[in-house]
Amino acid sequence: MMIDLAEHENCGYIALKDIAARQNISKKYLEQIIPLMGSNGFLLTTRGSQGGYMLARKPEEYTVGEILRLTEGSLSPVSCVDVTPARCDRSADCATLPIWQGLSKLINNYLDGITLRDILEQQRAKVGSDYVI
């Protein structure tokens, strides 16, 4: 949904049914995540016959990491790395804790380094180089 809105950022407010049709996503599913996105300042909404949704910021200002954290919660591979310091009776002696902390850092840095604009540009480059002779 966010990629679709980024792709159509200059089209004004976009109806949910249009996003659902273009992305082959259930409108009911989108209706469930819209309130979360709107209440957290990710989307602007308007009602009425010309109503719909649009990004509240520019596509380059949204990272995949922040979108996933909002919609999915923690991106940590294990729950003990969600808090610092780790709140586990075994954390002082845990041989794998540094591994999980490192993996969590890699995941978050990677996803926070990708914006909606990056995804659009990557898709355009892929489509632009997809030709047949």
- CA-nearest of 121, 104, 113, 14 to 62 is 113
Where is pLDDT greater, at 104 or 81?
Answer: 104
Q: Say whether both 46 and 68 belong to one domain.
A: no
Residue 90 lies in a domain: yes
* Predicted pLDDT at 88: 77
State whether 17 and 44 are in the same domain. yes
Does the bond joining 35 to the residue before it have cis omega, within 30 degrees of 0? no
Q: Indicate which CATH number applies to the domain containing 28.
A: 1.10.10.10
**For residue 122, is it within any domain?**
no
What is the mean predicted confidence (pLDDT) over 39-65? 94
Same-domain check for residues 47 and 67: no
Amino acid at 38: G
0.95 exceeded by pTM:
no
State the pLDDT at residue 132: 59
**In this prediction, what percent of the chain has a pLDDT beyond 70?**
94
pLDDT, tens digit (0-9, with 9 covering 90-100), for 77-90? 988 888 777 677 78
43 lies in the same domain as 83:
no
Q: Do 44 and 10 share a structural domain?
A: yes
The pLDDT tens digits for 9-23 are 999 999 999 999 999
Task: Answer yes or no: are the C-beta atoms of 37 and 57 closer than 8 Å.
Answer: no
* Same domain membership, residue 95 and residue 71: yes
Are residues 8 and 51 part of one domain? yes
**pLDDT at residue 129 in the model:** 64
Do the domain assignments include residue 130? Answer: no
The torsion angles phi and psi of 58, rounded to 5 degrees, stand at: -70, 150
